[in-house]
A and B are shown apart, each in its own frame.
Chain A
Amino acid sequence: MFEIKPIFNALCRSKVGAVLLLIQIAITTAIVSNAAFIIQDRIGYLSQQTGYPEEDIFVFHVMMFGQDVSLSQQYELDEAMLRQIPGVVDAAYSSNTPLSGSGSSSDFSLKPAPEEGKSARTSYMFIDEHGLNTYGVKLIAGRNYTEDEVIVTDNYDELSKVTVVTKTLLDELFPDGNGLGQTIYFGDIPMKIIGVIDLMKGPWLKDSRPDNVALLPFIKAGSNARFVVRTEPGQRQSVMNRVEEAMLKNYNKRVISRIRGLDEDKEQYMAEDTLMMRMLIVLITILVLVTALGIFGLTLFNISKRTKQIGTRRALGARKSAIISYFLVENAMICSVGLVIGIIAAVYLGQLLMQHFSIAQLEISYVLGTALCVFVMSLLAVLAPAKRAANISPSIATRTI
């Protein structure tokens, strides 16, 4: 029933229209498969687990300008005050905050500097013994540090002697799994690993080692400080609303700013990727629509050009279904060639993107999936005009123009 050969021959005799459709389908396939791959990649990145109950945590920034108090004492008082606020689970002074794009990092090594040993890029945070609880991260081995182990100072002469690290960091430095209790070096300063955290992302989600984090029990109070607060679920907003007033009431020669939820910080850090994802989604949606419209329009035109021919075919005994299938088969043939070219182009474009940008190797499943969708889309786009063609009256055949 499918008249493949005559359709093919007929196509070969009116190439241009077919070639144009083919180009559209090929480029669409190439763009959509790559864009879909990037979108999928971004969705994975945007929805990753961070280890924190982000909706219950907020951070804020303190800038002290008064000179009449001891900073470290004042921060102790502030911490105590914050922990008393109803709805607050825990609060701590933190040298920097995670997921924000701003922090400190260094290589932690198995040998003291300047000796060269195995080392791993690590972001670190100075925070007291409340850190673990405030950030709501899970300790899976060892213990948290105690208040006695926290060094409160105004210089860097003496640093922490113990540290709690993430499992990822531990596994990188000690692949044999015997890291707990071992000593690692921050520069030439030895620190004993006393606890292991399950999952805790550092300040830079785009870092080469976003999961390598070390918490150091060390407080050097500066005029520029950050606090982190964890509240009971649902209580965060009300605590956030009160925190500036409460902090200024405790001491007023300072500025409280950037009071933000941890999830908001993360959102801001990821905003560019969110934007890229949205733009790509819009792009491919419109692109598929435009291509479908193109197929639709071209088929419509083809049909009006072939009205007489269709009437003749009907007069010669073609059923309506034969007319519909004629157009479907014709489209499917153009589409198949377009898809083959499109698949090659998609892989090539993927290679190009990988070479010039930091984009992973395009997975072939995306290309094939896209090809299938484009195929179905093109058949759907043809269906309506083809049905219209089938309704052309065979009496057209006896009409002289």
Chain B
Amino acid sequence: MLKMNNINKVYQTEMVQTHALRDFNLQVDEGEFIAVTGPSGSGKTTFLNIAGMLEPFNEGQYLLDGIDVGKLNDNQRADLRNQKIGFIFQGFNLIPDLNLYENIEVPLRYRGIKAAERKRRIEQCLEQVGLASRAKHLPQQLSGGQQQRVAIARALAGEPRFLLADEPTGNLDSLMARQVMELLEQINRDGATIVMVTHDPELARRAPRNIQVVDGQLADLTLYQGTQNLKAAGV
């Protein structure tokens, strides 16, 4: 599904050079649910941006579904994003001027899907996140949890095979967070691959596979997880 080989990402400002990702290697298989953790500034977000083709990288190779992303131009990357990837952002990023229905419609329009099909999908997704009755509401009329559910619905509407979630529960209280997490798990069971960045260990633990980014490199995740489990067992 996703394969990163020796990815390097350097942020260059006038004064300093920051090595955000250093020889980063990762393989994600179809149907996995991965939680990415790590201290702040470790490169989690950079990883997510590169995985979602929101940012270019400096060195290395990134294959998404077998397609070499580094060789694509901007339009091709946009189209690939549109077709394969669904995004869930920490800040929800709903468009304030558009109502829920129109918000979910945005990626579908970019894909050029016909109006009737759009309607069908949007209604289905709204149903799935439990907000079908609120289609005409504007984002600011909803609570944070509801907004995030709309954002998930928007990510799902394109029927992506690959879902990228950036601290999806970061702005939510624990009850809401649990609801959102359950929703993600449901989606994963339905067949989508999910990569979720989070700093909440409890949330991370619910994912079948955990990876940790430290100083722009992948830490040994199995060992990490093993230690956690041992701790949990009280050894």
Contact = CB atoms under 8 A, between A and B. Distances in A.
The answer to whether any beta carbons of A and B sit under 8 Å apart in the complex is: yes
Interface of A: 1, 3, 6, 9-10, 13-14, 308-309, 311-322, 393-395, 397-401
Given A10-B98, A312-B89, A395-B49, A319 B54 contact: no
24 contacts: A1-B109, A6-B98, A10-B95, A10-B97, A309-B93, A309-B95, A312-B89, A312-B95, A313-B95, A313-B106, A316-B107, A316-B154, A317-B81, A317-B83, A317-B107, A317-B110, A318-B78, A319-B79, A394-B52, A394-B81, A397-B54, A397-B87, A398-B45, A400-B91
Nearest to B94: A312
Contact of B110 (A14, A309, A316, A399): A316
Contacts of B45: 398-399
Contacts of B111: 317
B25 interface: no
A6 B105 contact: yes
Contacts of A13: 97, 138
B90 A317 contact: no
Contacts of A6: 98, 102, 105-106, 109
Interface in B57-88: 74-75, 78-79, 81-83, 85, 87
A13 B78 CA distance: 28
Contacts of B48: 398
A309 B158 CA distance: 18
A321 B105 CA distance: 18
A317 B109 CA distance: 10
B24 to A, nearest CB: 16
B188 interface: no
A311 B90 CA distance: 14
A399 to B, nearest CB: 8
Contacts of A1: 109, 112
A269 B97 CA distance: 60
B55 interface: yes
Contacts of A398: 45, 48-49, 52, 54, 89-90, 166
A314 B111 CA distance: 12
A285 B109 CA distance: 40
Contact of B82 (A308, A317, A397, A401): A317
B99 interface: yes
A316 B156 CA distance: 11
Given A312-B89, A313-B106, A399-B45, 14 more contacts: A13-B97, A311-B93, A313-B95, A315-B89, A316-B82, A316-B110, A317-B79, A317-B158, A318-B78, A318-B82, A319-B79, A394-B52, A395-B54, A398-B54
Say what secondary structure dominates the interface of chain A. Answer: helix
A319 B78 contact: yes
A401 B45 CA distance: 14
Interface residues of B, number: 38
B139 to A, nearest CB: 11
A67 to B, nearest CB: 92
Contact of B89 (A14, A393, A397): A397
B106 A316 contact: yes
A321 B166 CA distance: 27
A107 B30 CA distance: 102
Chain B CB within 10 A, most for which of A311, A312, A399? A312
Nearest to B101: A6
A398 B55 CA distance: 11
A317 B110 CA distance: 7
Chain A CB within 10 A, most for which of B55, B105, B109? B109
Given A397-B93, A398-B48, A398-B54, A317 B78 contact: yes
Contacts of B78: 314, 317-320
Interface in B122-147: 138
A272 B95 CA distance: 56
Contact of B93 (A10, A312, A320, A321): A312
Nearest to B90: A400
B79 A393 contact: no
Contacts of A321: 75
A288 B89 CA distance: 42
Interface string B12-56: 000000000000000000000000000000000100110011110
A319 B83 CA distance: 12
Contacts of A317: 78-79, 81-83, 85, 107, 110-111, 158
B46 to A, nearest CB: 9
B55 A308 contact: no
Contacts of B79: 317, 319
Contacts of A313: 95, 106, 110
Nearest to B155: A316
Chain A CB within 10 A, most for which of B53, B54, B158? B54
Contacts of B87: 312, 315-316, 397
Nearest to B83: A317
Contacts of A9: 97-99, 102
A30 B112 CA distance: 39
A308 B97 CA distance: 13
A315 B109 CA distance: 14
B77 to A, nearest CB: 9
A102 B74 CA distance: 74
A66 B48 CA distance: 105
A131 B7 CA distance: 96
Contacts of A401: 91
Nearest to A398: B166
A309 B85 CA distance: 18
A272 to B, nearest CB: 52
Contacts of A397: 54, 87, 89, 93
A315 B81 contact: yes
B74 A319 contact: yes
Contacts of B166: 398
